[in-house]
Amino acid sequence: MTNPYPHELALGDVYFSPILAILSLSLVATWITAVLLNKLRLTRFLMFPSTTFLAIMVFYLIALDHWLIRF
């Protein structure tokens, strides 16, 4: 029985890990979240904004990896 989900992404003859696409999507989603937090002025309640940015990015990375990549 074959798996219908791809195990790697092909761009020409170069194969990339699917985590690369998930990483870029999570980075974009984190930037959008950071912009929204800045617009709503919620970042003033954060003690370490850079660490919070990384934590939000890891959250998006795990969530997208769970829902988009199936092995």
In the chain, domain spans: 17-68
Three-state DSSP class for 39?
A: helix
Report the distance separating Cα 57 and Cα 29, nearest Å. Answer: 8
pLDDT tens digit string along 24-38? 999 999 999 999 999
* Whether pLDDT at 9 is above 90: no
* Whether pLDDT at 66 is above 80: yes
* Mean pLDDT calculated for residue range 56-60: 97
Strands (E), 7-70: 9-11, 14-16
The residue behind tokens 């074959």 is 2
